[in-house]
């Protein structure tokens, strides 16, 4: 079974804090990491390979240094990697990104399953997976928390919805997006680490993929970011005073005044 895992290199944004004096992001010490949700996608790909045979190819679109993310994926069990990198891709929104990924995956040729993380940590949209599936004309199943099994050309999964879990069956090939409940990603093995250092990672550019220049980058993206600002925290908490018993008493009075209890 041939499995493709799509991943993205993102800034480790949990480290990002706002400097309250200048109202800007403090970036010192922020390194690039594999989008955390994608680490579950890699692990699931590797587990399915171990269960059913085949190979796992990891794919990322990004700047040249995104190669580090691919090498890290190889260190935890991916077999092959492709870096899609071209200056003309910069500024692509989710629709343009899904176009480039679809072109890439079509070039990779044969595949049974494509796995993505549920969303990235920087953009937080979760749109590239379903847009990719639509462009490839294959089914999509979101928020997968368990792969129950693959047989007869079908995959059976559990997926999380607001009210609980649905058991869904889809024919292959399809795209699934996974949540963190699906597995616990492994640490790199010694052999994996060695392989990750020597693996040859091809870099595909726009011309290698037969890309239509009108569909990529800022100009090929239907959405445009026109303003960026920092969220305003408008409330100023009233800190209750006195003994804890006094504070609890004051709180009950306030909540009654507000008619919320």
Partner 1 sequence: MTIQIDIGRCVGCGSCIPACPFDALQIVNNKAQVNDNCTLCGACKDACDYDAIIIEAPKELETPQDSFRGVWVFAEQRDGRLKSVAYELVSKGRELADDLHTELCAVCFGHRVEGVQQLIEYGADKVYLLDDPALADHQEDVYVGQLVRLIREHKPEILLAGATSLGRSFIPRVAAALETGLTADCTGLEIDRESGLLLQTRPTFGGNIMATITCPVRRPQMSTVRPHVFKRGTPNAERKGKVIRVNFDRESITSRTRLLSFVEELTDKVKLEDADIIVAGGRGLGKPENFQILQELADVLGAALGSSRPPVDDGWIPYSHQIGQTGKTVCPKLYIACGISGAVQHLAGMQTSEVIVAINEDPNAPIFEVATYAIVGDLFKVVPMLTARLRDARR
Q: How far apart are CA 70 and CA 91, in angstroms?
A: 21
Comparison of 80 and 204: residue with beta carbon closer to partner 1: 204
Q: Which of 166, 197, 202, 213 binds partner 1 (CB under 8 A)?
A: 166
Q: Which of 29, 109, 110, 161 binds partner 1 (CB under 8 A)?
A: 161
Instruction: Mark the segment that binds partner 1 (CB under 8 A) among 1-9, 15-23, 38-46, 197-205.
Output: 15-23
Q: 78 near 58, Cβ under 8 Å? A: yes
Q: 37 near 183, Cβ under 8 Å? A: no
State yes or no: residue 114 binds partner 1 (CB under 8 A). Answer: no
Interaction with partner 1 in 181-220: which residues (CB under 8 A)? 181, 218-219
Query: Nearest approach, Cβ of 41 to partner 1 (angstroms)?
Result: 15
How far is C-alpha 245 from the geometric centre of its chain's CA atoms?
47
Q: Which of 13, 83, 103, 189 binds partner 1 (CB under 8 A)?
A: 13
* Residue 239 tokens, joined: 């800190």
Q: 71 near 79, Cβ under 8 Å? A: no
Q: Which of 50, 106, 125, 191 binds partner 1 (CB under 8 A)?
A: 125
State yes or no: residue 252 binds partner 1 (CB under 8 A). Answer: yes
Query: Nearest approach, Cβ of 79 to partner 1 (angstroms)?
Result: 28
Comparison of 190 and 260: residue with beta carbon closer to partner 1: 260
**Hey, is 45 helix, strand or coil?**
helix
Query: Nearest approach, Cβ of 143 to partner 1 (angstroms)?
Result: 6
Q: 67 near 84, Cβ under 8 Å? A: no
State yes or no: residue 168 binds partner 1 (CB under 8 A). Answer: yes
State yes or no: residue 139 binds partner 1 (CB under 8 A). Answer: yes
Q: How far apart are CA 189 and CA 76, in angstroms?
A: 7
Query: Nearest approach, Cβ of 18 to partner 1 (angstroms)?
Result: 7
Upstream peptide bond of 147 is cis (omega within 30 degrees of 0): no
Nearest to 149 by CA among 231, 67, 47, 226: 47
Instruction: Mark the segment that binds partner 1 (CB under 8 A) among 1-9, 44-52, 186-194, 230-238.
Output: 230-238
State yes or no: residue 151 binds partner 1 (CB under 8 A). Answer: no
Check residue 210 and give left, alpha or beta (phi > 0: left; psi -120 to 50: alpha). Answer: left
Q: 173 near 138, Cβ under 8 Å? A: yes
Nearest to 120 by CA among 97, 99, 151, 89: 97
Query: Nearest approach, Cβ of 74 to partner 1 (angstroms)?
Result: 24
Comparison of 198 and 223: residue with beta carbon closer to partner 1: 223
Query: Nearest approach, Cβ of 167 to partner 1 (angstroms)?
Result: 4
- Phi first, then psi, for residue 24 (nearest 5°) are -130, 165
Comparison of 9 and 75: residue with beta carbon closer to partner 1: 9
Query: Nearest approach, Cβ of 155 to partner 1 (angstroms)?
Result: 10
**Hey, is 85 helix, strand or coil?**
coil
């Amino acid at each position: 079974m041939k499995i493709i895992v799509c991943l993205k290199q993102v800034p480790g944004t949990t480290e990002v804090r706002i400097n309250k004096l200048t109202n800007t992001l403090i970036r010192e010490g922020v390194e690039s990491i594999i989008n955390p949700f994608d680490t579950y996608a890699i692990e699931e790909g590797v587990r399915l390979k171990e269960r059913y045979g085949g190979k796992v190819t990891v794919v990322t679109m990004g700047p040249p240094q995104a190669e580090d993310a691919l090498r890290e994926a190889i260190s935890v069990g991916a077999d092959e990697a492709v870096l899609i990198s071209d200056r003309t891709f910069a500024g692509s929104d989710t629709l343009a990104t899904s176009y480039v990924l679809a072109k890439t995956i079509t070039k990779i040729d044969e595949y049974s399953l494509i796995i993505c993380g549920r969303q990235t940590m920087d953009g937080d949209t979760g749109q590239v997976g379903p847009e990719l599936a639509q462009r490839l004309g294959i089914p999509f199943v979101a928020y997968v928390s368990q792969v129950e099994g693959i047989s007869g050309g079908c995959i059976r999964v559990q997926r999380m919805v607001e009210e609980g879990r649905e058991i869904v069956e889809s024919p292959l090939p399809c795209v699934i997006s996974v949540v963190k409940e699906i597995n616990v990603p492994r640490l790199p093995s010694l052999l994996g680490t060695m392989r990750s250092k020597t693996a040859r990672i091809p870099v595909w550019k726009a011309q290698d993929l037969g890309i239509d220049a009108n569909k990529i980058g800022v100009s090929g993206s239907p959405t445009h970011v026109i303003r960026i600002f920092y969220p305003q925290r408008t409330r100023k908490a009233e800190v209750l005073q006195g003994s804890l018993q006094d504070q609890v008493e004051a709180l009950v009075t306030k909540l009654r005044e507000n008619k919320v209890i």
